[in-house]
Structure formats: C-alpha cells, structure tokens
C-alpha cells in the first residue's frame, strides 16, 4: 500500500516529468501496480509476457498513462470479464531497434465504421459517466512525444493495441 501511494504521488507530479532512460518492462509493472484494484473487481485477469526490450528515452509517468489507458479500454471491452495479455519485446523497423508493447483483449472489438475515429479527442462509444473519449487521443500524443507509433488490429474476437518507441541509442552503445 505504501509503495502504491508513493508511486501515485510520483505519477501525479508534473515537475519531474523529464526524459530519462526508461525500461518499458518497469513501466508495465508500475502501471499494473496502480490499477490492480480496478481489475480485481471486474473478473479481469492480466497475463504478462515480458521479453527483453531496449531502454528508451522517455517520461515514465506519461508512458504508464498509456498502459493504464489501454488496459482500461481492454477491460471495458470485456463486460463479462476475460483475460488481457500484456507483452513486451524488441522489434526492428528499417534496421532500427524499437521497444514494443502489445495489449490484447478478447472483447467486443472495434467495428469498421469507427476504426478511423478512435484516436480523435472526445470520440467515445461509452456513456457520459463511463468515458470522456480522451484516453486514446492522449495516448497518441504521448507516443508521438516519444517519436513512437501506436496502431491496432481488431475483429469480433478482440483487439490488440501495439506501441513502439525507438530505442535510446546512447544507452545501447
């Protein structure tokens, strides 16, 4: 509990929001620590498959916000409960290394007619008291701030969100 509270304090503090060398596996673990209680109450299981991933230059609290947003969306897509798989890895694009995260659910999926709109600010399919429609637009902004990418695949079987952030080259030398 103490650990959670001190982490929450750091999470909400903006003054130390600087770019530092970050390991995304730590980001994932810290995010889960913050939302464990939310997930428990809804019969949601989270499985982790954390592979080695290169350090990135980033703002840890903002990166945690992305994971929390994606896991919250995954939970909302599975009203009867289910499993969310969170995985990390190293991927390569045009010869450059990236740290990657995926968040996979087996929920309702995102229908074709709204796929274009989900990253728009205030776009939501949820009730007024359930969502503001800001989660994905904020996540998109944070990913872009890290020169990364965010994309998804979705069908009636569920949805997988992918994030990639370029490896911090200074750290890998």
Ligand X SMILES: Nc1ncnc2c1ncn2[C@@H]1O[C@H](COP(=O)(O)OP(=O)(O)OP(=O)(O)O)[C@@H](O)[C@H]1O
Q: Would you tell me which residues interact with ligand X (CB under 6 A)?
A: 69, 73-74, 77, 105, 107-110, 118, 123-126, 131-137, 159
CB of residue 49 vs Mg ion: minimum separation in angstroms? 23
- Kindly give the residue spans of alpha helices, DSSP state H, lying in 13-162: 24-40, 60-76, 135-145
Partner interacting with residue 126 (select from Mg ion, ligand X, none; CB below 5-8 Å by kind): ligand X
Using CB under 5 A, which of 23, 31, 65, 73 touches Mg ion? Answer: 73
Angle between helices 24-40 and 2-12 (to 10 degrees): 110
- Kindly give the residue spans of alpha helices, DSSP state H, lying in 41-131: 60-76
Token pair listed for 4: 């959670």
Q: Does 23 bind Mg ion (CB under 5 A)?
A: no
- Geometric angle at alpha carbon 99, from 133 and 151, rounded to 5°: 35
Partner interacting with residue 133 (select from Mg ion, ligand X, none; CB below 5-8 Å by kind): ligand X
CB of residue 67 vs ligand X: minimum separation in angstroms? 12
Nearer to Mg ion, 98 or 161 (CB): 161
In the bound state, the residue with its beta carbon closest to ligand X is 135
Which residues in the 76-135 window bind Mg ion by CB under 5 A?
135
Phi, psi at 64, each rounded to 5°: -65, -35
CA torsion, points 48, 105, 31, 73, in degrees to nearest 10? Answer: 180
Q: Which residues make up the interface to Mg ion (CB under 5 A)?
A: 73, 135
């Amino acid at each position: 509990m103490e650990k959670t509270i001190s982490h929450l304090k750091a999470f909400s503090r903006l003054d130390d929001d600087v770019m530092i060398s970050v390991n995304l596996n730590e980001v994932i673990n810290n995010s889960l620590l913050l939302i464990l209680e939310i997930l428990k109450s809804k019969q949601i299981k989270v499985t982790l498959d954390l592979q080695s991933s290169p350090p990135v230059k980033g703002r840890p609290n903002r990166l945690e916000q992305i994971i929390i947003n994606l896991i919250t969306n995954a939970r909302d897509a599975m009203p009867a409960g289910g499993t969310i798989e969170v995985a990390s890895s190293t991927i390569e694009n045009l010869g450059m290394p990236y740290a990657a995260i995926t968040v996979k659910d087996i929920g309702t999926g995102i229908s074709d007619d709204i796929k274009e709109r989900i990253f728009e600010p205030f776009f939501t399919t949820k009730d007024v008291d359930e969502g503001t429609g800001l989660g994905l637009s904020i996540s998109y902004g944070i990913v872009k701030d890290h020169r990364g990418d965010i994309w998804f695949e979705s069908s009636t079987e569920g949805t997988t969100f992918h994030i990639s952030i370029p490896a911090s080259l200074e750290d890998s030398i």
